[in-house]
Structure 1
Amino acid sequence: MNATMTPHELRQKIRLGQHSGNTSGYSEGYVQCNLVILPVDWAAEFLQFCQQNPKPCPLIAMGQPGEFDLPGMGVDLDIRTDIPRYRLFKDGSLVDEVEDVSAHWRDDLVVFLLGCSFSFEEALLNDGLDVRNISEGVNVPMFRTNIPCKPAGRFSGNTVVSMRPFLPVDAIRAIQICTRFPSVHGAPIHFGDPSQIGIEDINRTDFGDAVSLKAGETPVFWACGVTPQVALEQAKPPFCITHSPGCMLVTDLPNSRLAVM
């Protein structure tokens, strides 16, 4: 990974097919975003779903119908090409994963960018904490839970969480740090016993990769931007595009703009 690569440089590499993996640890200092793209007649209800569920779905930006460049999010940004991998859904079912959605673009599509926990990982690292998915070079572990979201129109479902293990003293510090970043999921929503939130086996992820838990560590869980994909499965829109878990849009927006001091 390359923490010093600028977001524009990384997006160019992605666009040229030179990077197709997860984006955790890349372009330190800049906001990374989850992606949801829906037809315009589903957009208002999804916007309401985000507003009702700001922890898993913190809205960073929303485009106009047909807009794929999202002015203000990045120089020469093209949402159709600048994410490493996309997921295509039809009637709520995942039908394909691709590295470019230009061929699927339509003038009635609306882009939603949601805050991602990869943005606050930088603050954890700067405080000397070990972010296990970065130190082990894998995608962050993500799990479906039994924590319900607030429904909005046709959208409902349970929260997805990401997990990072810490010693208890470091978990407390991580909570303090992440509380300053409500636009990228903020403080964790659970720590300790995974079964209390419906996770039966911490080594069997629903998305991403498993990481090691060392002696004395406890799992810490953050609301995750993959949550909308579960809501999409329930709502079954005729067509939808999302990011593949761990493969984010890296914007030119500094993380510092999102911090609450």
Structure 2
Amino acid sequence: MTLRAITQTIPALETSDGAGVKIKRSIGQHQNIRLDPFLMLDEFGSDQPQDYIAGFPSHPHRGFETVTYMIEGHMLHEDHLGNRGNLKNGGVQWMTAGRGIVHSEMPQQEAGRMRGFQLWLNLPAAEKMKPAGYCDLQPEDIPEFTLDGAVVKLIAGEVRIDGRDLAGAVTGGSTRPLYMDIQLTAEAAVSLPVDQALNGMLYLYEGSAALRQGAQTQPLAAASASVLGDGDEIRLEAGSSGARLLLIAGRPINEPVVQYGPFVMNSREEIEQTLRDYRDGRLTA
């Protein structure tokens, strides 16, 4: 096994999206700051209603997938296909925009804390125009496994750990996405496989942790995408207060990316066609 190290740290920048929802954006803060096949990673979290109450009114997408993971709070998804899903504590919504979807994501609370993440996962050219789809995963749908000092929620992907073959709530796909929420107790140390064919990153959102590299450790920066180098394994060590972090990985697509707001295609001509389709009501036809 070859240990992966941190090769780049991308601190999340505070910004806003939708109708003024305050977020922190690491991957995707600029169009040249991506990690193939991932286009964007947003963290949202506030107990101030004015930071989230306006939500994300009806808007279009084409050419990629969104993965929304709610840690705390209540958000309602509705789309032009008639899908309706309540995203609550521990739930995940996996939406495939494909050739086109128009949806909204609106808070269903007027007080309290709302907290979670949204990941944008690119689609290869051959799949960008496939039919739109939607998957609403409840907390009990997401497999959870324990290691010594760790509890791992396996949202997506397949891994083999300690002789166990483990499968997430979502598996397969051309980019083979791997998505874990890892909770470490104080001073815990765990090893996890990350297939060398996948680009990967860690995102620390609670406590403190580091990657072990032989006799040395690399601390993880909080609220930052820590991009992983080559290898097939990571060794995580938690600090004195424990830690919570995301492990996200996927097989790179290695194709041109042209993005215009909520549309992600492979060429400027395809973006122009998408804009015409949206203008003329053909985006979701």
Q: Same fold (TM over 0.5)?
A: no
Structure with the greater alpha carbon radius of gyration? 2
The structure with the greater share of residues assigned to helix is 1
The structure with the greater share of residues assigned to strand is 2
TM-score (norm 1): 0.29
